[in-house]
Amino acid sequence: MEEINWNDFEKVDLRAGTILEVFDFPEARKPAYKVKVDFGDLGVKMSSAQITKHYTKDELVGQQIVGVVNFPKKQIGKFMSEFLVTGFADENGDIVLTSLRGKVPNGSKLC
């Protein structure tokens, strides 16, 4: 993989946000939820996430996650995704969310 420098890293705007609501997304090709996340001063944003294998909707509400907030919006069927939910694939390829161990203000930038 190609090395990047600090300026390259700074271009990716990774922010902490709290999941406010989670909705089913039956129109998605792969099982997914729609998530509504509070990013503090950046506002409330919506995205979809293929995280149904490891999480129920109820347990996601209130959890802080990490999202990329400076990608362009992406149309997914009739739904407009406003940020990228980050995570890691487990041994089966199912996504485990990037989450925070401690609480930080919504909108905090990864540094």
Question: Looking at residue 31, what is its pLDDT?
Answer: 93
Candidates 2.40.50.140, 3.40.50.300, 1.20.140.10, 3.30.2350.10; correct CATH number of 7-97? 2.40.50.140
pLDDT in tens, 87-107: 999 999 999 999 899 999 999
Q: SS3 letters for 78-89?
A: CEEECCEECEEE
Would the pLDDT of 77 be above 90? no
pLDDT in tens, 18-62: 999 999 999 999 999 999 999 999 999 999 999 999 999 999 999
Question: Looking at residue 20, what is its pLDDT?
Answer: 98
Question: Looking at residue 47, what is its pLDDT?
Answer: 98
- 40: which residues sit within 8 A by CB, 6+ positions away? 15, 17, 105, 106, 107, 108
